[in-house]
């Protein structure tokens, strides 16, 4: 069943390169002190999931960088991370720019699923592929760090421990398979607002870190997720009471913990094993009783 949902990242068709940009969930997220660069130090286990934006790259179809956006709302032109990533790439290889990029958005903005960061990483990878791998992996990572804290994670994967402001990546070799229901409500939250209102608790950070460490060493990601260890959740739910209520309602339906991904607003429920029938039943129950969209996802393979 997981194979049915997992798709390849790159496909060539009619001289164009179709590239998929997967969403992610945070299986846990710990937030520590604020850094001199105004970011916070974090520790998080991120996992790519089988839910994708799509980007089509057509070389020599434009005089410069042309970005077309379809699907869900996304900023256009130079405000889009895809455009910024393409511009940064071409500046790095010092080549003339002639590329048309069509971005089809499926991953909602402001959901904590990393759609924009994934799109930027996919752009770097795709352009490097189209230009005969001119840049090394380390060079791509340096470009990714300039684009956003989560972008470097999406260059590799599919699961990794991310620290610093999120740019320090320790790839997880022992991949934890999972099946999850991702709940996409109409509610939105601002990452900046969440972090601006977040109160640092270094004692809690260390306590949670010590509790999680032995579980990770045994690859018990399922037990980690049951902790719902997202230190941004308290702030997020205090700011958005509707989202807090939604979490409670989901847990009443599923009888399982619902976790916030990143700074929200997406919530997810991990199911033991890979009981797709149960996942489909719960997905229908949530959609029929609550005003939100639900998707069933697996851990991504790449």
Is it the case that residue 3 has pLDDT exceeding 60?
no
pLDDT tens digits, 204-220? 999 999 999 999 999 88
Residue 4 has pLDDT above 60, yes or no: no
pLDDT tens by residue, 7-51: 899 999 888 999 999 999 999 999 999 999 999 999 999 999 999
**What pLDDT score was predicted for residue 154?**
98
- Please tell me the distance from the alpha carbon of residue 55 to that of residue 181, in angstroms, as a whole number: 25
Round to whole Å and give the CA distance between 149 and 43.
Answer: 12
Domains of the chain: 2-171 (3.30.230.10), 179-298 (3.30.70.890)
Per-residue pLDDT tens digits for 179-192: 999 999 988 889 99
Q: pLDDT grade, residue 63 (50/70/90)? A: confident
SS3 for 296?
strand
* E strands in the chain: 10-13, 16-34, 40-59, 65-71, 99-105, 159-164, 168-171, 179-185, 259-260, 267-271, 292-298
Q: What's the pLDDT tens digit per position in 215-250?
A: 999 988 888 988 999 999 999 999 999 999 999 999
pLDDT at 156 over 80: yes
Give burial (CB, 10 Å; 0-12/13-18/19+) of 43.
buried
What residues are annotated to the active site?
24, 150
User: Taking the model in full, what pTM does it have?
Assistant: 0.95
Return the percentage of the chain with pLDDT > 90, whole number. Answer: 84
């Amino acid at each position: 069943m997981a194979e049915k949902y997992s798709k390849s990242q790159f496909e060539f068709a009619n001289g164009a390169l179709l590239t998929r940009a997967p969403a992610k969930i945070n299986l846990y997220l710990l937030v520590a002190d604020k850094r001199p660069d105004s970011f916070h130090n974090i520790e998080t286990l991120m996992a790519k999931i089988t839910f994708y934006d799509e980007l089509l790259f057509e070389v020599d179809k434009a005089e410069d960088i042309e970005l077309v956006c379809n699907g869900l709302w996304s900023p256009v032109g130079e405000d889009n991370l895809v455009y910024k990533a393409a511009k940064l790439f071409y500046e790095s290889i010092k080549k003339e720019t002639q590329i048309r990029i069509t971005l089809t958005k499926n991953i909602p903005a402001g959901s904590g699923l990393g759609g924009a960061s994934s799109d930027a990483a996919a752009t770097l990878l795709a352009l490097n592929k189209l230009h005969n791998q001119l840049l090394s992996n380390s060079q791509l990572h340096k470009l990714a760090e300039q684009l956003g804290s989560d972008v470097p994670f999406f260059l590799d994967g599919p699961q990794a421990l991310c620290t610093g402001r999120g740019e320090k990546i320790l790839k997880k070799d022992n991949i934890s398979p999972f099946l999850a229901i991702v709940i996409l409500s109409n509610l939105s939250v601002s990452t900046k607002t969440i972090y601006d209102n977040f109160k640092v608790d270094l004692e809690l950070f260390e306590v949670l870190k010590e509790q999680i460490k032995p579980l990770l060493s045994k690859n018990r990601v399922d037990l980690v997720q049951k902790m719902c260890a997202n230190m941004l959740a308290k702030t997020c739910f205090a700011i958005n009471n509707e989202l807090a209520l939604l979490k409670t309602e989901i847990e009443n339906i599923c009888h399982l913990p619902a976790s916030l991904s990143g700074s929200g607003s997406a919530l997810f429920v991990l199911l033991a094993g890979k009981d797709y029938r149960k996942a489909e039943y719960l997905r229908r129950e949530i959609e029929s009783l609550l005003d939100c969209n639900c998707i069933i996802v697996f851990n991504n393979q790449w």
